Amino acid sequence: MSGNQQDVGGVWYGRWDAEQPQVAPNRFIAMLEEQGGAITGTISEPDADGGEGVLRALVRGERSGSSIAWVKQYDASGRLAHAVRYAGAVNADATEIRGRWHLKGLSGGFAMIREKFSEAELETEEELLLPL
């Protein structure tokens, strides 16, 4: 990882779509952690095709500079248990990831965003929370 590249750990809000018209687009929330370029985490998304439930998946992958790749493995707590491969690029501020996903015969694009706060913003928030 380059020195100016920021960590991708945190909460991300995303959306994916498919090139195949029979696959409806969906949104998700990813909670990622990064240590030494290794990416782990979880993804939760609405079960858009199967009902009102939530689909959950584990994330395992890696990042090198702006390149990032992971496998999303659905945990079978919902109706899915397959794996999906993701690969993309992280912007310089580590506030956006865009790329492609692939699964046997299916593929599409994805985008993820998050807010990042400066040290000054975090310190101000911390001061506001301290008891007087």
Q: What are the CA-CA distances from residue 121 to residues 5, 32, 68, 124 (Å)?
A: 20, 22, 28, 5
| Three-point CA angle 5, 8, 14, nearest 5° | 125
**Annotated domain spans of the chain:** 10-129
What pLDDT shows up at residue 6? 83
Q: What's the CATH superfamily of 10-129?
A: Quinohemoprotein amine dehydrogenase alpha subunit, domain 2 (2.40.128.120)
Question: In terms of DSSP bridges, do strands 10-18 and 26-35 run parallel, antiparallel, or are they unpaired?
Answer: antiparallel
What pLDDT shows up at residue 1? 43
Of the two residues 48 and 93, the one the predictor is more confident about is 93
Query: Which pLDDT tens digit goes with each residue over 115-130?
Result: 876 677 667 766 666 6
Q: Are 103 and 82 a contacting pair, CB within 8 Å?
A: yes
Query: Which pLDDT tens digit goes with each residue over 66-115?
Result: 999 999 999 988 788 899 999 999 999 999 999 999 999 999 999 999 98
